[in-house]
Amino acid sequence: MSEPETLTSLYFDIRDDQWPLIYDAKYNVSFLGLERFHVFDAKKWRNIIENLKDAELITDESLVKPVEATKSDLLQVHTKKYLRSLKWSTKVAMIAEVPVVACLPNMLVQYAYLKPMRLQTGGSVLAGKLALERGWAINVGGGFHHCSGDRGGGFCPYADITLLIQFLFMHRLIQNAMIVDLDAHQGNGYERDFLGVPEVYIMDMYNRNIYPKDKEAKQAIRRKVELNNKVEDMEYMLKLRQNLKAALNEFKPDILVYNAGTDVLDTDPLGALRISEVGIIKRDEFVFEICKEHRIPIVMLTSGGYLRKTARIIADSIVNLHKKGLISNKKQIDCSKRWCYVRDYYIRRKTKPGACGEAAKRRFELLRFMDKYSKKYTSSNGDDGETEDKSDGTQSQNEEPDDMFEVEIDLNENHDKDNVDDACEDPIAVTKRKISCIQAQVSTALNEPDENDLFFCSMAKIVKKLPTYEQAQLRMQIGSLVGEAELRCIGIESPVETKVQHFEQD
């Protein structure tokens, strides 16, 4: 993955008292009343939030408002040709499956339909970052799984799932990801985008008899669960449990993107399945529960669902997740400055080495001490390429000593003897011998295990055995602590503060 030139505005930090629950009132589509003629509930997202408020789970202040995805953000995945095609109302009408939209001015189409979709796309991208920080995140919108980088369809104008994962890769926050799509329809959009990408594991469980029946996209699915019409709760949950457990045994993701479509609901006009309301709630509970068990951050997207009662069911499911202790507004770890340090250490410092101040550069080097020590105390173990950590901090037997420390001197020589030798020897020889003695003392001191070296080396060995997600979190915590400590030291030694202290004393 290429390194980003600049940070996206889609990523930002949230307050400690906010839930990683992303929503904006502008998510909802209003087409001069024309939206009422569509099978999709254009106010579904607002109704979800209203139900959560009625349950006294959230307030407006606890929600996170996303930023609309810009053209430059979308170009990370979408082609310029595709984005230009959205300037034609006929193209948008085909994607939204509302023929009358083709007759409307594109300016109105952009404002009334595409702008809310770009805002939901920004919410999905933000949810990826927040899930890594809090352990979970829910975008009340999003889940446009029929859209790929060069084509839209099935009410999906933007590839928010692909963008979510792509941004995490770009900013080096993850090394791999898993998509679990439980919408009734095949998620052919992101499947086309990630075809041949081994770092993204796709599990798709869908009705084989309905749209889109995309054979090419199916090649990207690592665990394919095809259902027949009228599948009910028992069969559905049995297949879900078996296959998701098997998927997590095959693949250990840094993050799981859960496309939680509710069009599997009984009587849904498009899903053709027969899952009950309780079945959907239990389905969501199981997915969150297994992610918590495996300590995998999870992003939930609401995706499809075309009945008026869908909003209440989604809200009931979120309330149930809270009651079961699977989600909360409490931070999993202290990550208040996490993204700031990710930016300083892993993006700007590498892409533009001269752009940061010396303090930022020193903080970057301090953050990498774990890698340095883990490499310093490893040695080759035969021809098999395996390495063995040297936790005692001593030098490897095969390691060549530095040239300046080659001379070995007996440090127990008697000082009186030294004085006699000094009188007899040539002055130049005496000087050389004393220099050699000093070098030997320095060499001995350097070879002695340092307490800090031993401590950090042992910590590095422990951290390396943890899951990748835990390693990333610990690196960020350490970077934050080191940075804050350095800033405190700078503040203490600051000449300005010293002058102020002298002034107060006077």
Instruction: Tell how strand 298-301 and strand 136-139 pair up.
Output: parallel
Q: What is the predicted pLDDT for the residue at 351? A: 46
Q: What's the pLDDT at 35? A: 56
In this predicted structure, the answer to whether residue 3 has a pLDDT above a threshold of 50 is: no
Residue 294 falls in the annotated catalytic set = no
For residue 261, the model assigns a pLDDT of: 98
Band of the pLDDT at 237, cuts 50, 70, 90?
very high
Instruction: Please tell me the predicted confidence (pLDDT) of residue 264.
Output: 98
Question: What are the backbone angles phi and psi of residue 255, rounded to the nearest 5°?
Answer: -155, 150
pLDDT band at residue 491 under the 50/70/90 scheme:
low
- CA pair distance 463, 176, nearest whole angstrom: 19
Quick one: pLDDT band at residue 345, thresholds 50, 70, 90? very low
**Mean pLDDT of the residues in the chain:** 81
pLDDT at 503 (0 to 100) = 46
- Location of structure tokens 């401590």: 455
pLDDT reported for residue 37: 56
Per-residue confidence (pLDDT) for residue 442, from 0 to 100:
65
- Measured CA to CA, the distance from residue 128 to residue 148 in angstroms comes to 18
What percent of the chain lies above the pLDDT cut of 90?
58
Alpha-carbon gap, residue 32 to 91, rounded angstroms: 19
487: tokens are 């800033």
Tell me what the mean pLDDT of segment 210-220 comes to: 97
What 3-state class would DSSP assign to 188?
helix
* Strand duo 21-22 + 136-139: pairing: parallel
Identify the residue with better confidence: 459 or 206: 206
Query: If we measure between CA atoms, which residue out of 470, 126, 135 comes closest to residue 301?
Result: 126
SS3 assignment, position 69: coil
Contacts 24+ apart (CB under 8 A), 328-334: 329/17, 329/18, 329/19, 329/62, 331/16, 331/133, 331/134, 332/133, 332/134, 332/135, 333/473, 333/477, 334/477, 334/480
Distances (CA, A) of 189 to 172, 181, 192, 220: 23, 12, 5, 11
Q: Stretch 8-34: mean pLDDT, rounded?
A: 90
Q: Residues 187, 71: contact at Cβ < 8 Å? A: no
Least confident of 124-128, 290-294, 350-354: 350-354
Instruction: Dump the DSSP string for 19-57.
Output: -SEE--GGGS--STTGGGGSSS-TTHHHHHHHHHHHTTS
pLDDT at residue 401, rounded to an integer: 40
Return the pLDDT at 436: 76
Domain boundaries, the chain: 41-323, 338-394+449-505
- Rounded CA-CA distance 98/96 in Å is 5
Contact partners, residue 26, CB within 8 Å, separation at least 6: 115, 116, 119
What pLDDT score was predicted for residue 447?
64
145 φ, ψ (degrees, to nearest 5): -80, 0
pTM: 0.68
Which letter, b or e, does each residue of 465-488 get, where b requires 16 or more Cβ atoms within 10 Å of its Cβ?
Answer: eeeebebbbbbbbbbbebbeeeee
Per-residue pLDDT tens over the stretch 391-446: 444 444 444 444 333 333 344 444 444 454 555 556 677 677 777 777 776 666 66
Q: How confident is the model at residue 111 (pLDDT cuts 50, 70, 90)?
A: very high
Calculated CA dihedral for residues 304, 307, 309, 310, nearest 10 degrees: -10
The pLDDT assigned to 465 comes to 77
| Cβ–Cβ < 8 Å for 287, 212 | no
User: CA distances (Å), 307 to each of 231, 268, 311, 312, 346, in order?
Assistant: 18, 6, 8, 10, 45
Q: Return d(Cα 372, Cα 330) in angstroms, integer.
A: 34
pLDDT at position 365 over 60: no
The CATH number assigned to the domain with range 41-323 reads 3.40.800.20
DSSP state of 223: E
- What is the tens place of the pLDDT at every residue in 446-485? 665 566 776 777 778 777 878 777 777 787 778 777 777 7
Q: What are phi and psi of 128, to 5 degrees?
A: -60, -45
CA 174, 222, 204, 289 torsion-angle sign: negative
Q: Are 202 and 196 in contact (CB under 8 A)?
A: no
- Three-class DSSP labels, 351-383: HCCCCCCHHHHHHHHHHCHHHHHHHHCEEECCC
Q: Quick check: 198 pLDDT over 70? A: yes
Task: Answer yes or no: is pLDDT of 19 > 50.
Answer: yes
The pLDDT confidence band at residue 217, using thresholds 50, 70 and 90, is very high
Residue of 158, 111, 152, 112 whose CA lies nearest to 139: 158
Residue-level pLDDT at 392: 42
- Catalytic one among 38, 78, 145, 146? 146
Length of the chain: 506
